[in-house]
A and B are shown apart, each in its own frame.
Chain A
Amino acid sequence: RKEVEQDPGPFNVPEGATVAFNCTYSNSASQSFFWYRQDCRKEPKLLMSVYSSGNEDGRFTAQLNRASQYISLLIRDSKLSDSATYLCVQAGGFKTIFGAGTRLFVKA
């Protein structure tokens, strides 16, 4: 079993839709979680950290459920520019584990 698992998608949604991605992790001792965004043929860039209390950044909401060992990312009012691959990441010390990513296509 992979340490961090994501649904690879692709998710195809129309502009304005709300879309949610989930990610499960196996190491219950993991301390920190993040979502990264990666555009085609580009490097990953940090989208947001994920906190146990849940956190929001504009149209993006991230949640962490330690009891069930999953994190989620919710995107509201999707834009064409949200089309990308979203990587779920768990980190602790020097160990940073990336999920394989979920591809999102937002269509006009």
Chain B
Amino acid sequence: DVKVTQSSRYLVKRTGEKVFLECVQDMDHENMFWYRQDPGLGLRLIYFSYDVKMKEKGDIPEGYSVSREKKERFSLILESASTNQTSMYLCASRPGQNNEKLFFGSGTQLSVL
């Protein structure tokens, strides 16, 4: 089975802190994604990466950056956390562009106080 692991299930940070969310997949998938999920809004794409060291902005990249130095790891960075970034963050991966089925990590519930 594909395993997508997110480093923290729950995280509480203060406004202005730098926050790192880590995601690791063990199936040699090419593509990785970061979403946030808010009630009534569904999942919204923040950033994605189609290969190592490659990254592309999604629909809501403001306030976030990403890093993909190794194929299996995709990190989401909040440079200066704000209260409106309180959300559920979901990492996902898939084999490649020709296989569109996504496999998700268990999510990180981030609260910014």
Residues on A lying within 8 angstroms of B by beta carbon are: 4, 8, 32, 34, 42-46, 49, 87, 91-94, 96, 98-101
Closest partner residue, chain A, to B41 (CB atom): A100
Q: How many Å lie between the Cα of A94 and that of B35 in the bound state?
A: 13
8 Å CB contact of A34 from B35, B48, B101, B105:
B101
B56 with A87: CB separation less than 8 A = no
B104 with A87: CB separation less than 8 A = no
Q: How many Å lie between the Cα of A101 and that of B43 in the bound state?
A: 9
Looking at chain A's contact residues, is the secondary structure mostly helix, strand, loop, or mixed?
Answer: strand
Q: Which residues of A contact B35 (CB under 8 A)?
A: 98
Q: How many Å lie between the Cα of A99 and that of B50 in the bound state?
A: 23
CB proximity to A under 8 Å, residues B88-113: 90, 97, 100-107
A46 with B48: CB separation less than 8 A = no
8 Å CB contact of B43 from A49, A93, A98:
A98
List 17 additional contacts besides A87-B42, A96-B100; criterion CB under 8 Å: A8-B40, A42-B106, A42-B107, A43-B90, A43-B106, A43-B107, A44-B43, A45-B104, A46-B102, A49-B101, A87-B43, A93-B97, A94-B48, A96-B33, A96-B102, A98-B42, A101-B42
A94 with B50: CB separation less than 8 A = yes
Q: Which residues of A contact B104 (CB under 8 A)?
A: 43-45
Interface range on chain B: under 10, 10 to 19, 20 to 34, or 35 or more? 20 to 34
Q: Which residues of A contact B31 (CB under 8 A)?
A: 94
Residues on B lying within 8 angstroms of A by beta carbon are: 31, 33, 35, 40-43, 45, 48, 50, 56, 90, 97, 100-107
B100 with A99: CB separation less than 8 A = no
Q: Which residues of A contact B106 (CB under 8 A)?
A: 42-43
| A-B residue pairs in contact (CB < 8 Å), sample of 26 | A32-B100, A34-B100, A34-B101, A42-B106, A42-B107, A43-B90, A43-B104, A43-B106, A44-B90, A45-B104, A46-B101, A46-B102, A46-B103, A87-B42, A87-B43, A92-B100, A93-B97, A94-B50, A94-B56, A96-B33, A96-B45, A96-B100, A98-B35, A100-B41, A100-B42, A101-B42
